[in-house]
Amino acid sequence: MTTTAAEMPLPRVELEADDVHVLITAWGTATVGDRAPDGTVMLYREQWDADSFEPVTATRTRLLVAHDAARAVGVLTTIKPTDAGLEGWGRLVGSTSAKAHTRELVREGLHSAASVAFTPNNDHDIWTRPTTRNGLPTVTRRGARVREASLVWQGAVPGSRVLEIAKPPTPPPVNPILDEADRVVHGGYGARFILDKQIADHQEQERRREILAEADRLAAAGERWQQYVQPADIGTTEPSPRIRSIIDAQHGMHRAAATWDQRMAELLDHRPRDQRGWDRWQREYDRLMREKYPT
């Protein structure tokens, strides 16, 4: 049973729209006839389902009128199976007047049905004998290859039709106030991150100064203690090992602190410009802090 365009619901067609959506072949059964080499006509039933077509990889499939290669009206850039059938998405082509003419034919239902031209895969098609005396054999198509799609007055498979010719979705309007707010918010996050780093750096510097001041106090106490040690008591004019260890430790702390300060200053002078750089900077910063203040 064939279905004419007049028997189907009219598609939605927008003025000056070029995007076309077509149900090229609905899943179902059609009665078709092919002429044999001897001139006789063979009637049979053709069954279509989700496994009937091989995947369509082409990005430009012709959209014709009545399978006439001289009447191309569009190009389908995407074709894929859905629950309803084999559907295609693309756009109308041609001059402004030609596209307007195509839209009118579809809007009025004169060419709003759809049909597919295909190359069968005879090795995979499944034929079944008729179940009644006057019945027709049925072929379930497998691995068919799409050649082109057409707008027609009468489609072979019921439900095959143009679904809509519409304009692409309109993006939401740009709101300059919201854009500015978004920029300020993101800029605020960046500024807060930098401020937090500066506060942490200042706190660490204060802590380092306190530790060095305490080291100086202990070293001065050690030197004051040293003047009360009599050389005769230890048999040498050199400070005792205990005093020497305190002095050496104090000097080593000063040298280590100076080296650490220089490395930290170099790190603070080279602020990264992107997130990946910040991640590397943070790892180096944490490593220096663990080196200075191991837990």
pLDDT in tens, 238-264: 666 666 676 677 777 777 777 877 887
- Closest by CA to 143, choosing from 52, 49, 46, 24, is 52
The residue type found at 142 is R
pTM reported for the whole predicted model: 0.56
210-242 pLDDT, tens digit per residue, is 877 777 777 777 666 665 555 554 455 566 666
Q: Which CATH class is domain 3-166?
A: alpha beta
Domain boundaries, the chain: 3-166, 176-292
CA 252 to chain centre: 56
Q: What angle do CA 195, 199, 202 make, to 5 degrees?
A: 140
pLDDT digits (tens, 9 = 90+) for 275-287: 777 778 888 888 8
